[in-house]
Amino acid sequence: MQYRVKALGIAIPLFLGILVFLMGAFVAQPVHVEGNSMYPAIEDGDLVLISKVINDLGRGDIVTFYEPRSRADREVKRIIGLPGEEIWMTERGELYIDGGLIDEPYVLALRNQRPRGISRQVIKEGCYFLMGDNRDVSSDSRSFGPVPRRLIYGKVVG
């Protein structure tokens, strides 16, 4: 009986370690954010929880993804445009989707002083247009284009 207690004593921490590893690898993961491209929603150094189980993606969701040009750099941005939508932005920073002006309460005017216009484009199926809330410092889909769904690996949930 003493042997079983010792074996069980080792098995429980081992099981818990494996469970934590699997959750981090496949379910959810805490991530420290570096940079201010999502300010004020997320600040430099904030710890966010990302869900790796993504059932649906919608406008306004904040996601983590591999930057399309390098596929190594990991970024966090907000979904602005959905597959099949026509998107453009004026030189004043006004964003239009399918002809309608989009209200973006998460973008502070103080952080959108140097907007870069976006020419009219239709977002390809299976792709998303992602932008940082702090538009003046954000490298986003305005630079690297819409992001394929396969490069989005997490959704910020907390």
Catalytic residues: 37, 77
Q: For residue 104, what are the contacts with CB-CB under 8 A and spacing of at least 6? A: 95
**Most distant CA atoms of the chain, gap in Å:** 76
The H or E element containing residue 5 is: helix 2-26
Q: Provide Rg for the chain, Cα atoms.
A: 20
| Three-state SS at 14 | helix
